[in-house]
Amino acid sequence: MQANIGPAQEVEAMAQSSNEHKMQYAKEHFARIEIAIPKDSKPILDAMAKAAGEKTAEYVKNAVLMRMGVKEWPVHDKEE
């Protein structure tokens, strides 16, 4: 016998399912890169990103793209 759940629990279960789906999608479609910078530099990087109207991760990704001289991430064509 399944216990009745209320609307709040139902919404929470749906949100968890959605979050799990997003995490699985990200795992399948994106690579994670970790970088290390001096701790004292992190607030400066955060401030620069904020001044540019971007989140820090977006700011760093855009800096990499600029350094590569491209506007979008290049995609490697898989030979099948």
Q: How many structural domains compose the chain?
A: 2
24 lies in which domain range? 1-30
Angle between helices 42-51 and 56-68 (to 10 degrees): 80
Mean pLDDT taken over the chain: 88
Q: What is the pLDDT of residues 54-77, one digit of tens each?
A: 999 999 999 999 999 999 998 877
Q: What is the DSSP string of 19-71?
A: HHHHHHHHHHH---------GGGHHHHHHHHHHTTS-HHHHHHHHHHHHHT-S
Confidence of residue 79 (pLDDT cuts 50, 70, 90): low
Residues 40 and 55 in one domain: yes
pTM confidence score: 0.67
Question: pLDDT band at residue 37, thresholds of 50, 70 and 90?
Answer: very high
- ∠ CA 20-22-24, nearest 5°, is 70
Q: State percent of the chain over pLDDT 90.
A: 52
Instruction: Calculate the CA 52 to chain-centre distance.
Output: 18
Regarding whether 21 and 56 lie in a shared domain, the answer is: no
